[in-house]
């Protein structure tokens, strides 16, 4: 699938999800019967103070943590999966094939170039020899994605040679290498100045539409909320949709 092609029948549906953590002799509720739906090509922003459960919500949506109860349904062109019930092995496969995660910090590999950061994603979990034709296909796709995020001239540079905004663009492009149906993005502008942060938000909105990915975006930045398809506020584990 190229960057200009779109998907159909893509959506994330979170229904009555509860997540608790041990807290001494009791348990702390991080998510309290949270529900939301995000369709392909749209961006839902999640706001709220630190400690409100935003990171926990992203973690359960991306299969990094299993909730205590509820359902997390990911609809893709190939079928529907309840992410809340998959095994660890199945979750790992899904994160390689259907879920793109953009962490707050890019966590790029220092020794790899920008293009290599993307190429390595295709080989995760593989134990067989990759034929030359597949390697060329992977390189072409990485090149195309880096061009789509405005890094045509930066593909051979390593992380130390890139600016903070450029590293975050590599981070986003890397999350798209496996054509995810779901994008989960955590505070992508927190380490950037206003101008670079605005450029990253522009890019995320474009990427969500172009790749038709259902996108969850956690942010403290109130500036761009009016551009999102939906805005939710999370406080003490309770999620409410807000007006913009």
pLDDT tens profile 162-199: 999 999 999 999 999 989 999 999 999 888 888 888 99
pLDDT digits (tens, 9 = 90+) for 97-115: 899 999 888 889 999 999 9
pLDDT more than 70, % of the chain: 93
| Domain ranges, residue 227 | 11-107+179-239
Give the chain's domain count. 1
Asked whether residue 113 is assigned to any structural domain, the reply reads no
Asked whether residue 67 is assigned to any structural domain, the reply reads yes
Per the listing, tokens 């909730």 go with: 67
Which residues neighbour 55 within 8 Å (Cβ) at sequence distance 6 or greater? 186, 218
Asked whether residue 38 is assigned to any structural domain, the reply reads yes
Asked whether residue 36 is assigned to any structural domain, the reply reads yes
**16: domain CATH number?**
3.40.50.300
Per the listing, tokens 């170039």 go with: 113
What is the C-alpha to C-alpha distance for residues 12 and 72, in angstroms, rounded to an integer? 7
| Dihedral of the alpha carbons of 55, 61, 62, 63, in degrees to the nearest 10 | 110
Asked whether residue 155 is assigned to any structural domain, the reply reads no
Mean pLDDT of the 86-90 span: 94
What is the C-alpha to C-alpha distance for residues 138 and 178, in angstroms, rounded to an integer? 10
Among 30-34, 36-40, 134-138, 161-165, which is the least confidently predicted range?
134-138
Mean pLDDT of the 132-161 span: 93
- In the three-class reduction of DSSP (H, G, I as helix; E, B as strand; rest coil), residue 87 is classed as coil
What is the C-alpha to C-alpha distance for residues 220 and 187, in angstroms, rounded to an integer? 7
What is the C-alpha to C-alpha distance for residues 59 and 34, in angstroms, rounded to an integer? 13
What is the C-alpha to C-alpha distance for residues 203 and 197, in angstroms, rounded to an integer? 10
Say if residues 40 and 181 touch (Cβ distance below 8 Å).
yes
Q: What end-to-end distance do the CA atoms of the chain give, in Å?
A: 34
Asked whether residue 53 is assigned to any structural domain, the reply reads yes
Asked whether residue 73 is assigned to any structural domain, the reply reads yes
Asked whether residue 156 is assigned to any structural domain, the reply reads no
What is the C-alpha to C-alpha distance for residues 60 and 57, in angstroms, rounded to an integer? 5
Q: Which whole-number Å values give the CA distances from 211 to 5, 7, 149, in the listed order?
A: 7, 7, 13
């Amino acid at each position: 699938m190229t960057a200009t092609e779109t998907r159909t029948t893509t959506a994330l549906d979170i229904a009555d999800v509860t997540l608790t953590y041990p807290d001494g002799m009791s348990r702390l509720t991080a998510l309290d019967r949270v529900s939301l739906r995000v369709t392909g090509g749209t961006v839902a922003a999640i706001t709220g103070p630190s400690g409100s459960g935003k990171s926990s919500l992203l973690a359960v949506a991306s299969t990094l943590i299993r909730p205590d109860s509820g359902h997390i349904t990911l609809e893709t062109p190939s079928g529907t999966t309840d992410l809340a019930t998959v095994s660890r092995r199945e979750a790992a496969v899904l994160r390689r094939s259907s879920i793109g995660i953009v962490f707050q910090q890019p966590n790029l590999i220092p020794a790899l170039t920008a293009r290599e950061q993307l190429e390595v994603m295709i080989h995760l979990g593989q134990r067989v020899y990759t034929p030359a034709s597949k390697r060329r296909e992977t390189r072409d796709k990485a090149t195309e994605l880096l061009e789509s995020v405005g890094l045509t001239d930066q593909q051979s540079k390593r992380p130390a040679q890139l600016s903070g905004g450029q590293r975050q663009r590599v981070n986003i492009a890397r999350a798209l290498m496996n054509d995810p149906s779901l994008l989960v993005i955590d505070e992508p502008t927190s380490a950037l100045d206003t101008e670079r942060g605005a450029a990253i938000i522009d890019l995320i909105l474009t990427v969500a539409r172009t790749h038709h990915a259902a996108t969850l975006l956690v942010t403290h930045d109130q500036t761009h909320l009016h551009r999102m398809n939906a805005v939710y506020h999370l406080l003490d584990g309770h999620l409410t949709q807000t007006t913009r």
